[in-house]
Amino acid sequence: MAIVKVTDESFEQDVLKSGPPVLVDFWAEWCGPCKQIAPALEQIALELGDKVTIAKVNIEDSPTTPSRYGVRGIPTLMLFKDCQMASMKVGAMPKAKLLEWLAESGVAADASLPGVASA
C-alpha cells in the first residue's frame, strides 16, 4: 500500500476513522532525519500495507494537527489505533527498530517476508 499524505483537513477521516492502525510520520521538507527514514517507511508500507497504514503529515503545510498532539521535534512517529494515539517515537531510527516498535505495539510483521521479524 502506498503512503498516504494527510493534512489538517483530512486527519480525522484518514487517521482517526481508519479501520487498520495508522503510523503517522510528522515531517518537514527541510528535516534531514525525516528524509533518512522515508525509504524505511516506504518499505514498511509495502510489506505491512494490510496491517498498518503509513501516513505523512507535513508540519509546514498542516501545523494544527502536530500542535494538537504536542509534536515538538521531528520526525515524530505516532501510531494510532481505535481512534487514538497508542504509541509515539521521536527521532529517526532504522527499519528494524521501526518494525520492532510496531510489533511491540501489536502490529505484527509477516514472518514469510525476508528480513522481517515476527513478534
pTM for the full predicted model:
0.88
**Higher pLDDT among residues 119 and 12, named by residue:** 12
CA 106 to mean position of chain CA atoms? 14
CA pair distance 86, 65, nearest whole angstrom: 16
Query: Tell me, what's the pLDDT at 115?
Result: 47
83 a catalytic residue: no
Q: What is the mean pLDDT of residues 29-36?
A: 96
Task: Give residue limits of the domains in the chain.
Answer: 4-104
Return the CATH architecture of domain 4-104: 3-Layer(aba) Sandwich (3.40)
Query: Tell me, what's the pLDDT at 49?
Result: 84
Exactly one of 3, 6, 22, 31 is catalytic; name it.
31
The model's confidence at residue 1, banded by pLDDT at 50, 70 and 90, is: confident
Exactly one of 34, 59, 74, 77 is catalytic; name it.
34
- 35-54: pLDDT as tens digits: 999 999 999 999 998 899 99
| CB distance 37 to 89 below 8 Å | no
- Count helices and strands (H / E) in the chain: 4, 5
